[in-house]
């Protein structure tokens, strides 16, 4: 029962908020309703058995039996951490937004935020592909309203782009899902959308490639991977602060999560074949995102492009198919959620005071708002991966894992790391240091108590995750191993077939063996 | 239920009691209408609602009988009941939407409500037809009433244009249908559907005469369901007709036409489905694509919904192209059900903004609706999201069901084209939501408390959209059972779709 409560309490809260009319009550009740899933998430974290493989707190009920569709939810180490990230960021976003960032239509805003939380939690917990798709699409709607109603500037353009990109990807995934269920009927004898059953489906290699493509496009748009990232800068920049925080902090993770939970384990052999493609796209994303971020005059756009770069690391780690690499990727998902979420909050706070995000408008803020500048410093260092803070752990693990399987990619990716230090510090320098050129900047207020309350938990988590990653890595370990076992099985199978083919026919050189793309077997 | 069983009572006219109820209702409305001023026509509307309720109850008594009446001219099966029930609901909501609208616009109430009831009669006849002549009869009864209703605002040139266009093209298409029926009769020697199916199933080869007849009928139905390239009348007729009648055309006419179309092709010509599914493949692609692409550039909401209705018909035809398995049939029926509720909900909101004399049917008029009328805007948004196919709403499950059936029939490319179309359609559906929620400066809407009929219509539409989306299982079961009954086989009780 806990997972169902977790998913639907925010929805209940959303309904409750709609009935309120007093602005203060709306913010308070929304905040309280967001605390319940947070508390429940912590409770689940405590009750989670770290060494147990497979899903925990599983619930399954019939939903549409004609199609073999059930309400099937469960939690493993990876979804546990993403659920925690979601609940933390939603709570903090609501806390922040109540402090003056959102003045127009607070009731609708809180309704949509809580609705969004339901969708996100459902996405991370669904174990039935139909159910997953329902949550996956349902979370699109509140985000679309959040950007469109409370956004800035070219918000309408941004919403359209966001919706059309993501819809196109997910509808193709829907076709793939239905096709897969149909294949399940011919290979298992019954129609099912259940993930565990679909793992057992055997497909021809052509079918597998097309279906993997259907899933991968949907997830790649969400991640976003270069070259389908173009919706991201617009959506992130025009969204209200809380929208950007959730979009970057949680929603992008849904894309990477989709790869880990669905696309790769459902089609492991295709995923192995696709390693070069994804590594290349990830590396391009890392460098491209960093280079474009460097030349942004707008602070928020800079953070948005840095997301493209950071998520490239996540994909690099996932497709390393190495214990360290995948763990690092999941860890990096959490890091990015915290640090980019925090960055968007900080940029939002600045915007609230000055109504501009142009870097050129600032300079010398260190002397007028020291607390703000200090917090910004920590967050920035976390984002660029300073040892001792969270970002370092994830990036180090990813590079370690990827280095063992694909050295070339790592050489390029490391340059992305250097670039990220460069653009972040450069931006920091221009905003915080130097002389106070604009007199108006001398008069802006430092962080309010509410804003400090928003930032402190984030900073604490950054230090905690940087210094003591063990409890989190522990919990995701069995899930990561299960994923890798599937991939390595498929790899071994392909190896056997290749040897068989080579012994009967003339020795051919596939691209994979030629470039030695084959990941190291870590089953020692 | 057994008390009403045909075999025990033996009254062969029992199956037409619902039809009788509707036509008697229409005549009573006309008689009483003589005494009623046009400004007070709402009372006639209530009379019509009573007749429709009676017909609905009588229809429900026919559930599960699955026999033929009048020597095979009428089918008393779950298929007929399914469509009749939806048609009656749609008619009732049309009347409910009209109550204030007709009085405000001083439309001639007696004729208006009587024509609506007669149109409903024709629709029900099409749903329950057991032979080709009854289908034709139903089609004409419905069409003539609708032609008149489309031009009901006599002083409005747009309304006149709607009626003339609809009438000319409609009459033309009826000619095709009738010619097709004649050719099929020539080829098979019968107009009854049952013997035609039996003959085809026993291996009579599809001869050129039969195929030509089928082609003609396809064109005739293509006009009525507004499939491309026979859709030209739709936008003008939808735009010019009184708005509640537009809703009636979008839901009632479309459903009735599909009821006849499916009854003939999917249910009874399944044995030679290879002859017609390929044509429908092409028609489906054209209909979806043309409907969606042209809808993208519409600025008038009624025209936009007209093109959207064309595109929606395209998705239904995707299901028809999947042949006549009972998963395909069930999927189509479910789709039509979802479409009916979604359209009714959306049109109720359109009627709410439309005050007869001054039509507020530009999309720009919807700007800022969410601020003044959050309920109306939310209803419209839900219906539009359902049209787009966003879960967990009716439109999503319906699309899922149709796509599953089509994939099951191996139509992978058709489904890919269909989902690309769905993605494109998001653009214009969301454009209206953008106007309602993210822009300012539309028209002021009259207080809704004066118009309970409209509120109820919108509420029923939205309730259907949510119920069909969140818990689709019972309705899926009903759709499959209905379709299977039209195949002349015993009803399946433990229904498992996609066997």
Size of chain B in residues: 499
The confidence score (pLDDT) of residue B275 equals: 81
Supply A287's token pair.
Answer: 């460098």
Looking at the complex, report in whole angstroms how far the Cα of residue B202 sits from the nearest Cα belonging to chain A.
30
Instruction: Check whether A505 has a pLDDT greater than 70.
Output: no
User: How many angstroms separate the CA atoms of A268 and A289, rounded?
Assistant: 28
Residues B192-220 have a mean pLDDT of 83
Minimal-distance CA residue of chain B relative to A65: B473
Backbone angles phi, psi at B194, to 5 degrees: -55, -55
User: How many angstroms separate the CA atoms of A427 and A357, rounded?
Assistant: 12
* pLDDT tens digits for range A7-37: 999 989 888 888 888 888 888 888 889 999 9
Contacts with A156 from chain B: Cβ below 8 Å:
434, 438
The answer as to whether A64 is a domain residue is no
* Cα A229 to the center of its chain, rounded Å: 14
The answer as to whether A323 is a domain residue is yes
- Candidates A138, A144, A191; nearest CB to B392: A138
* A314 and A401 Cβ atoms separated by less than 8 Å: no
Say if B396 is an interface residue toward chain A (CB within 8 Å). Answer: yes
**How high does pLDDT run on average in chain B?**
86
Does the N-terminal peptide bond of residue B229 adopt cis geometry, omega within 30 degrees of 0?
A: yes
* pLDDT tens digits for range B431-460: 898 888 888 877 777 666 667 888 899 999
Subunit contact B412:A174, Cβ cutoff 8 A? no
| CA distances to A424, B24, B29 from B50, in Å | 72, 11, 11
Higher-confidence residue: B126 or B364?
B126
Residue numbers of the domain that contains A499: 274-524
* Cα A316 to the center of its chain, rounded Å: 14
* pLDDT tens digits for range B116-170: 999 999 999 999 998 899 999 999 999 999 999 998 888 888 888 888 989 998 8
Contacts with A213 from chain B: Cβ below 8 Å:
none
| CA distances to B60, B266, B404 from B332, in Å | 21, 10, 11
**How high does pLDDT run on average in chain A?**
86
| CA distances to A230, A310, A389 from A305, in Å | 10, 9, 21
The confidence score (pLDDT) of residue B54 equals: 94
User: How many angstroms separate the CA atoms of B116 and B98, rounded?
Assistant: 10
User: How many angstroms separate the CA atoms of B411 and A405, rounded?
Assistant: 41
Contacts with B404 from chain A: Cβ below 8 Å:
67, 178, 181-182
Looking at the complex, report in whole angstroms how far the Cα of residue A133 sits from the nearest Cα belonging to chain B.
8
Subunit contact A175:B400, Cβ cutoff 8 A? no
Subunit contact B437:A148, Cβ cutoff 8 A? yes
Residues B313-325 have a mean pLDDT of 89
- Candidates A130, A156, A179; nearest CB to B407: A179
Dihedral angle over CA of A294, A299, A303, A309, nearest 10: -10
Secondary structure (3-state) at A59 = strand
pTM for this predicted structure: 0.87
CB-facing half-sphere around the CA of B441: CA atoms within 13 A: 2
The confidence score (pLDDT) of residue A509 equals: 46
* pLDDT tens digits for range A33-50: 999 999 999 998 888 888
Say if B466 is an interface residue toward chain A (CB within 8 Å). Answer: no
* pLDDT tens digits for range A466-498: 889 888 888 888 888 888 888 888 888 888 888
> Would you list the domain boundaries of chain B?
2-486
The answer as to whether A256 is a domain residue is no
Is the dihedral angle over the CA atoms B443, B445, B446, B447 positive or is it negative? negative
Q: Which residues have C-beta within 8 Å of that of residue A140, sequence separation ≥ 6? A: A163, A166, A167, A170, B390
Residues A55-66 have a mean pLDDT of 86
Max mean pLDDT among A440-454, A492-506, B180-194, B331-345 falls in B331-345
Tally C-beta pairs within 8 A across A and B: 88
Instruction: Check whether A441 has a pLDDT greater than 90.
Output: no
Instruction: Check whether A355 has a pLDDT greater than 50.
Output: yes
The answer as to whether A500 is a domain residue is yes
The answer as to whether A85 is a domain residue is no
Number of folded domains that form chain A = 1
Does the N-terminal peptide bond of residue A224 adopt cis geometry, omega within 30 degrees of 0?
A: yes
Supply B266's token pair.
Answer: 């999917």
The answer as to whether A72 is a domain residue is no
Pairing of the two strands A69-75 and A56-64? antiparallel
Q: Which residues have C-beta within 8 Å of that of residue B205, sequence separation ≥ 6? A: none
Closest by CA to B149, choosing from B122, B188, B189, is B122
* B228 and B287 Cβ atoms separated by less than 8 Å: yes
Instruction: Check whether B492 has a pLDDT greater than 90.
Output: no
The answer as to whether A116 is a domain residue is no
Instruction: Check whether B173 has a pLDDT greater than 80.
Output: yes
Residues B417-424 have a mean pLDDT of 89
* B276 and B269 Cβ atoms separated by less than 8 Å: yes
User: Of A198-202, B87-91, B253-257, where does mean pLDDT reach its minimum?
Assistant: A198-202
Residues B87-101 have a mean pLDDT of 92
Percent of chain B with pLDDT strictly greater than 70: 92
* pLDDT tens digits for range B23-76: 999 999 999 988 887 777 888 899 999 999 999 999 998 887 777 887 778 888
The confidence score (pLDDT) of residue B11 equals: 54
Minimal-distance CA residue of chain A relative to B475: A64
- Candidates B430, B437, B495; nearest CB to A160: B430
Higher-confidence residue: A102 or A294?
A294
Percent of chain A with pLDDT strictly greater than 90: 21
Minimal-distance CA residue of chain B relative to A166: B423
The answer as to whether A28 is a domain residue is no
Instruction: Check whether A356 has a pLDDT greater than 50.
Output: yes
User: What are the residues facing B68 on neighbouring strands?
Assistant: B75
Contacts with A175 from chain B: Cβ below 8 Å:
403, 407, 412, 415-416, 419
User: Of A288-292, A403-407, B419-423, B475-479, where does mean pLDDT reach its minimum?
Assistant: A403-407
The confidence score (pLDDT) of residue B42 equals: 84
Supply A426's token pair.
Answer: 């450069």
List residues in chain A touching B: CB distance below 8 A. 63-67, 130, 133-134, 137-138, 140-141, 144-145, 148-149, 155-156, 159-160, 163-164, 167-168, 171-172, 174-175, 178-179, 181-182, 185, 191
Task: Categorise residue B203: left if φ over 0, alpha if ψ from -120 to 50, beta otherwise.
Answer: left
* A517 and A271 Cβ atoms separated by less than 8 Å: no
């Amino acid at each position: 029962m806990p997972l169902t409560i977790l998913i639907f309490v925010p929805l209940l809260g959303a309904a409750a908020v709609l009935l309120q009319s007093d602005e203060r009550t709306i913010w308070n009740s929304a905040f309280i309703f967001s605390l319940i899933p947070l508390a429940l998430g912590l409770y689940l974290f405590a009750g989670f058995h770290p060494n147990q493989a497979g899903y925990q707190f599983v619930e399954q009920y019939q939903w549409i039996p004609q199609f073999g569709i059930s309400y099937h939810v469960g939690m493993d180490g990876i979804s546990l951490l993403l659920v925690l990230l979601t609940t933390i960021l939603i709570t903090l976003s609501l806390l922040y937004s109540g402090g003056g960032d959102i003045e127009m239509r607070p009731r609708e805003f809180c309704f949509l935020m809580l609705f969004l939380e339901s969708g996100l939690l459902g996405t991370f917990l669904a174990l039935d592909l139909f159910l997953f798709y329902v949550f996956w699409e349902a979370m699109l709607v509140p985000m679309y309203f959040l950007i469109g109603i409370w956004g800035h500037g070219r918000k309408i353009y941004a919403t359209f782009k966001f919706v059309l990109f993501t819809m196109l990807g997910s509808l193709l995934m829907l076709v793939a899902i239905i096709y897969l269920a149909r294949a399940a009927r011919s290979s298992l004898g019954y129609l099912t959308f259940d993930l565990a059953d679909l793992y057992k489906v055997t497909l021809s290699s052509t079918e597998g490639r097309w279906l993997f493509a259907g899933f991968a496009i949907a997830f790649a748009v969400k991640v976003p991977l270069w070259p389908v990232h173009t919706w991201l800068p617009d959506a992130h920049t025009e969204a209200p602060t809380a929208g950007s925080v959730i979009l970057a902090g949680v929603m992008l993770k849904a894309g990477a999560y989709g790869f880990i939970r669905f696309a790769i384990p459902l089609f492991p052999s295709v995923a192995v074949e696709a390693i070069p493609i994804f590594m290349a796209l990830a590396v391009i994303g890392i460098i491209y995102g960093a280079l474009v971020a460097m030349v942004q005059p707008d602070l928020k756009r800079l953070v948005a492009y840095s997301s493209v770069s950071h998520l490239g690391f996540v994909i690099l780690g996932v497709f390393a198919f190495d214990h360290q690499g995948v763990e690092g990727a999941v860890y990096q998902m959490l890091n990015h959620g915290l640090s980019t979420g925090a960055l968007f909050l900080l940029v939002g706070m600045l915007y609230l005071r000055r109504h501009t995000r142009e870097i050129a408008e600032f300079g010398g803020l260190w002397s007028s708002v020291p607390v703000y500048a200090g917090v910004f410093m920590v967050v920035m260092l976390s984002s660029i991966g300073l040892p001792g803070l969270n970002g370092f752990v994830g990036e180090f693990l990813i590079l370690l894992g990827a280095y063992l399987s694909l050295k070339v990619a790592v050489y390029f990716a490391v340059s992305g790391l250097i670039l990220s230090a460069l653009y972040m510090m450069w931006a920091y320098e221009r905003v915080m240091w130097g002389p106070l050129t604009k007199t108006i900047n001398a008069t802006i207020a430092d962080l309010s108590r509410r804003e400090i309350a928003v930032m402190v938990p984030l900073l604490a988590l950054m230090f905690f995750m940087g210094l003591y990653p063990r409890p989190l890595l522990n919990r995701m370990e069995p899930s990561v191993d299960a994923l890798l076992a599937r991939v390595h099985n498929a790899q071994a199978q392909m190896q056997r077939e290749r040897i068989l083919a080579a012994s009967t026919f003339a020795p051919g050189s596939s691209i994979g063996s030629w470039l030695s793309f084959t990941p190291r077997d870590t089953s020692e | 239920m057994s008390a009403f069983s045909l075999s025990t009572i033996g009254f062969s006219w029992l199956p037409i009691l619902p039809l009788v109820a509707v036509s008697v209702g229409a005549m009573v409305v006309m008689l009483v209408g003589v005494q009623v001023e046009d400004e007070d026509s709402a009372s006639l509307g209530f009379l019509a609602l009573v007749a429709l309720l009676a017909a609905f109850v009588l229809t429900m008594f026919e559930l599960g009988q699955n026999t033929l009446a009048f020597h095979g001219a009428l089918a008393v099966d779950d298929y007929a009941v399914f469509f009749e029930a939806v048609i009656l609901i749609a008619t009732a909501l049309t009347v409910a939407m009209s109550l204030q609208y007709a009085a405000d616009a001083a439309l001639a109430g007696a004729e208006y409500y009587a024509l609506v009831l007669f149109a409903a009669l024709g629709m029900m006849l099409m749903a329950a037809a057991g032979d080709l002549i009854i289908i034709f009869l139903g089609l004409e009864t419905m069409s003539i009433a609708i032609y008149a209703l489309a031009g009901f605002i006599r002083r409005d040139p747009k309304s006149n244009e709607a009626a003339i266009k609809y009438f000319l093209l409609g009459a033309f298409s009826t000619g095709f249908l009738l010619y097709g029926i004649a050719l099929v009769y020539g080829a098979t020697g019968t107009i009854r559907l049952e013997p035609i199916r039996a003959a085809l199933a026993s291996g009579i080869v599809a001869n050129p005469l039969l195929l030509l007849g089928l082609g003609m009928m396809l064109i005739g139905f293509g006009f009525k369901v507004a499939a491309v390239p026979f859709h030209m009348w739709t936008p003008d007729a939808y735009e010019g007709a009184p708005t509640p009648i537009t809703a009636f055309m979008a839901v009632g006419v479309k459903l009735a036409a599909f009821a006849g179309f499916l009854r003939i092709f999917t249910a009874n010509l399944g044995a030679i489905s290879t002859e017609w599914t390929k044509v429908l493949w092409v028609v489906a692609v054209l209909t979806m694509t043309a409907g969606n692409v042209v809808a993208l550039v519409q600025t008038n909401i009624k025209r936009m919904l007209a093109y959207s209705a064309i595109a929606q018909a395209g998705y239904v035809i995707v299901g028809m192209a999947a042949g006549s398995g009972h998963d395909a049939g069930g999927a189509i029926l479910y789709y039509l059900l979802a479409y009916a509720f979604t359209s009714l909900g959306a049109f109720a909101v359109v009627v709410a903004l439309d005050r007869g004399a001054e039509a507020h049917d530009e999309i720009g008029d919807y700007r800022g609706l969410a601020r003044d009328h959050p309920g109306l805007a939310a209803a419209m948004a839900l219906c539009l999201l359902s049209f787009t196919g966003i879960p967990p709403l009716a439109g999503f499950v319906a699309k899922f069901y149709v796509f599953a059936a089509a994939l099951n029939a191996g139509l992978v490319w058709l489904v890919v084209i269909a989902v690309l179309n769905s993605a494109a359609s998001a653009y214009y559906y969301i454009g209206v939501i953008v106007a309602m929620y993210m822009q300012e400066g539309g028209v002021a809407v009259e207080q809704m408390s004066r118009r309970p009929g409209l509120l109820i219509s919108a509420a029923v539409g939205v309730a259907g959209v949510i119920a069909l989306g969140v818990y689709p299982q019972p309705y899926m079961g009903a759709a499959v059972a209905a379709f299977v009954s039209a195949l002349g086989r015993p009803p399946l009780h433990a229904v498992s779709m996609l066997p």
